[in-house]
Amino acid sequence: MDKIIAFFSSFMTKILKTGNKNINKNIDSEVSNSQHTISGMSKVVAILEDKVVEPFKVTETTNKKEIKAMYRFGNRSRARLDTCHPDMIKIMEEVIKIYDISVLEGLRTAEKQLEYFETGRSKLDGVKKLSKHQDHGDGLSYAVDIMPYKKGSNAFSGAQKDLRRFYYLAGLVKMAARQLLEEVKISHKVRWGGDWDQDDIYTDQNFDDLPHFELRAI
């Protein structure tokens, strides 16, 4: 492109050597100052046509389209999700664009948390140790329990291939959270109940809570 513009500058200057001296002088000046830019060349053409024009404006266009969600939350899932912190809502809304999920639980009462503790479903009693699902003073849950959804199947069947769906889902959640964090759309990290210490090693813990995701301070 630079070679073409340079050739154009030289060519047009030579053509006008027999023309008006003032025009030649103006062209020489514009060619010298243009540094072979499209803007400079537009001024040369303007002098040839004996009129003033604005320099060319090079603009970029994009064909990017917002990703249309493939799935959406049902009424019960939506109501449960809406009890969560806005950051968690944003993360889950990104996930469901590409993978269908059901929201099992958001905000949880102390009584329900104690029940889960007594039946071995949680390590937190909800009294001495609060769960991220419980209200910490702002009326919001900082955790959500979700599961992969597919009509006619059961992610809790116990079969290895069904359990793998939770690990796949965890990757999508962490990816969505990281992207939103980098875009400064959320202000928390996310931790998964299948990898409490977040070291990507899944055999070093003795309590798995695969549906569980919670927000963590940065």
Q: What is the pTM of this model?
A: 0.69
Average pLDDT over residues 13-31: 46
Query: How far is 135 from 126, CA to CA, in rounded Å?
Result: 10
- Measured in whole angstroms, the distance separating CA 60 from the mean position of its chain's CA atoms is 22
126, pLDDT greater than 50: yes
* Residue among 143, 68, 91 at smallest CA distance from 113: 143
The answer to the question of residue 7 being in a domain is yes
Contacts for 7 with CB less than 8 Å, ≥ 6 apart: none
Instruction: Give the total number of structural domains in the chain.
Output: 2
- CATH number for the domain spanning 205: value is 3.30.1380.10
202, pLDDT greater than 90: yes
187, pLDDT greater than 60: yes
64 pLDDT band (50/70/90 cuts)?
low
Other Cβ atoms less than 10 A from the Cβ of 73: the count is 20
The answer to the question of residue 135 being in a domain is yes
Query: How far is 9 from 151, CA to CA, in rounded Å?
Result: 68
155 pLDDT band (50/70/90 cuts)?
very high
Beta-carbon-side half-sphere exposure of residue 86 (alpha carbons within 13 Å): 5
Range of the domain at 136: 75-217
Residues 67-84: tens digit of each pLDDT: 566 899 999 999 999 999
Average pLDDT over residues 107-124: 96
26, pLDDT greater than 80: no
DSSP codes joined into one string, 173-189 = HHHHHHHHHHTTS--EE
* Residue among 18, 25, 70, 63 at smallest CA distance from 44: 25
- Whether 102 and 147 have beta carbons less than 8 Å apart is answered as yes
pLDDT score of 68: 65
pLDDT score of 70: 87
Query: How far is 157 from 17, CA to CA, in rounded Å?
Result: 88
The answer to the question of residue 169 being in a domain is yes
48, pLDDT greater than 50: no
The answer to the question of residue 57 being in a domain is no
45, pLDDT greater than 90: no
Strand-pair partners of 190: 215
28, pLDDT greater than 90: no
Q: Are residues 21 and 83 in the same domain?
A: no
Q: Are residues 197 and 91 in the same domain?
A: yes
